[in-house]
Structure 1
């Protein structure tokens, strides 16, 4: 019997991360899924739910405590994983968040700085540190894949053409100061930066045969940004399970022909 494919995902206990774990756990293929979570209690609760829902799964889920904003947590997670596994086949950088609502009540220099710094620290810098730490385990795989979960809002071509998301308000009235209108600009900008980060990993890992992707899972009803899933559904958001199934397809190699690009379930997202 072939060894189980090993996938490590950050932020795996909730949202699209949870749906990705669910899709892999429910699939007929056997996987070892390392569910990264800031809270082991929350990870264990999520795993318990999945085990009860899919009692005949061929896969296993292992909770791993990871706070990607904490270097000591990342190092401890690396030591734990490497002590039990000689390699990882797929590394999924899913953990991320939007902090734009910090600017809802006031656009002061401190709130602007906080929203932007938090967005970049988590979505870009911490993702880079985490990836850099775990790359040795990925390079030990015979079929390595590196995934970065980005956003449809990261497309510069889409923004330039005016095809913004339904949750992004149109231009405010002339004059200054402008009233707060949803634009998700700090989050969007951090995901544009994440796409560049992905491209540099493509450059670095091309000699090693690693297939690198940025994944645009689509407009889904998650808790991202604090708007609430029900509110997002009113704007037409799909179910998070759609994103989880798509990411699982990439893990299984179904989009290997599009490696090095931003991929969505409908094709390749323009830069």
Structure 2
């Protein structure tokens, strides 16, 4: 199928975790064909991921290729945007998936508190803002542009007081009295605060694009057994995490219009996530 009849999709952080599963789900789609650009900081790791996808989904009307995309680098972002502009002239879907957490580096003393927080915010918020801003003309060139921000279930301010479900209760439980506090099993203070910041960034884009034709969502994919936390997929599954494939299918459904009735909201698969 010719490229100009396919949906052009850029997924940052696409070579692993949730991003990989989103691409896999799009490749499996029966209704729409996509030209998928897998954003990866390492081209080699991206190429390895593409080879694996081609084995897992050998027959697809869609295609996937790697673009070097480090959203902590302005020059890398410039190059990605220029490539898409030159080759395709538009972008139909931007999935701001690239994210990182450096809380464990604080706990391990491999990064200072300031450095870990700055890197977390730079990756999850600042880099996302730079890419989204520079990609906006390409989205405006699409007849049906879609803009997704991948957030987290841990980012809800309302739910910081929640004791349900167990995964939320575990991260909200106060430690024993006294100082210093014992090491947290899954430290996420920098990560969850950055994702809360991303939610506000998303809401401001809702304001900025309120009179335009761009559809946008913040997608909270659920508690998934990815490598993001640094504790390993199997350990996360024991804590109740789902297979990342579930999140990939959810994001695909947003891309394909199944959540068009919830444009401008922070959404989970079965509900709107409270602020």
TM-score range, shorter chain: over 0.9
TM-score, length of structure 2 as denominator length: 0.93
Give the secondary-structure state (helix, strand or coil) at the position aligned to 2:209.
Answer: helix
CA contact (8 A) 2:221 2:250 kept: yes
Alpha-carbon distance in 1 for matches of 2:109, 2:51: 42
Q: Contact 2:218–2:265 at 8 Å: present in 1 too?
A: yes
The CA RMSD measured in Å over matched residues stands at 1.7
Match of 2:194 among 177, 186, 190: 190
Name structure 1 gaps, 5 residues minimum: none
Distance 1:180 1:167 in 2: 14
Give the secondary structure class of the aligned counterpart of 1:206. coil
8 Å CA contact retained: 2:71, 2:128: yes
For 1:243 and 1:174, locate their aligned partners in 2 and report how far apart those are by CA, in whole Å: 37
Indicate the residue corresponding to 2:147 in structure 1: 146
Instruction: Determine the structure 1 residue equivalent to 2:116.
Output: 115
CA distance in 2, matches of 1:183, 1:224: 12
- Other structure's SS at 1:142 match: coil
Q: CA deviation at 1:54?
A: 2.0
Q: What residue number does 1:56 align with?
A: 59
Residues 1:131 and 2:135 aligned together: no
8 Å contact from structure 1 (residues 155, 192) kept in 2? yes
Partner residue in 1 for 2:82? 79
CA 1:105–1:45 in structure 2 vs 1: closer, same or farther (change >3 Å)? closer
Task: Tell me which stretches of 4 or more aligned residues in structure 1 moved more than 4 Å.
Answer: none
TM-score, with length taken from structure 1: 0.95
Deviation at 1:162, TM superposition (A): 3.9
Displacement, 1:73? 0.7
Aligned counterparts of 1:246 and 1:196: Cα–Cα separation in 2? 22
Contact 1:166-1:235 at 8 Å conserved across structures: no
| Residue pairs, 1:28-107, within 5 angstroms | 28=30, 29-105=32-108
Give the corresponding residue for 1:9: 11
- Provide structure 2 residue ranges, at least 5 long, that are not aligned to the other structure: none
Cα distance, 1:62–1:101 mapped onto 2, change above 3 Å: same
1:173-219 per-residue CA deviation (whole Å, 9 max, x = no partner) reads 21222222244111100000000000011111122111111000000
- Residue 161 of structure 2 is matched in structure 1 by 160
